[in-house]
Amino acid sequence: MEKIASFTIDHLKLKPGVYVSRKDHVAENVITTFDIRITRPNFEPVLNTAEVHTIEHLAATYLRNNKDFGSKTVYFGPMGCRTGFYLLLAGDYESKNIVELLKGLFEFIKDYEGDVPGAAAKDCGNYLDMNLPMAKYVAAKYLNEVLLKITEDTLVYPV
């Protein structure tokens, strides 16, 4: 069996950033999958499930309500390794095309107050596994250390 593309990225060189993971063609449409890498794989601790779950709820809400990208948002969810998230958008994009969107997203999470959308038993299968303070901390760290200082080496996968 062939190794899938995401397993060919050297995770020892990968830094937190925004990367195009793949582009899939579905009929006449392109779906761009982004690797939103929050922590440095194999060097930093992984994210805990409670903050991952909280970020997922807040991000899905923000993205699906975004005036420019709401109708193009196919999916936002965590990576199994818990070092980041995948964002799937309908359209042919490069990483630099969504930096402003992500700045807005992580600013929204960093500043969020109140009940987490969908954090109720009738809305979510694991609504008790949430941690808003840690989600806000992770969002602020990613915003300040990565998105506000974005460089070419954090927009394109290492070779």
Annotated domain spans of the chain: 11-150
The residues near 144 (Cβ < 8 Å, ≥ 6 apart) are: none
Which DSSP category does 120 fall into?
A: S
pLDDT in tens, 107-151: 999 999 999 999 999 999 999 999 999 999 999 999 999 999 999
User: Is-contact 18 93, C-beta < 8 A?
Assistant: no
pLDDT in tens, 8-49: 889 999 999 999 999 999 999 999 999 999 999 999 999 999
DSSP alpha helix (H) spans, the chain: 49-64, 99-111, 132-145
Q: Using alpha carbons, select from 75, 68, 106, 103 the residue that is nearest to residue 89.
A: 75
| Superfamily of domain covering 11-150 | S-ribosylhomocysteinase (LuxS) (3.30.1360.80)
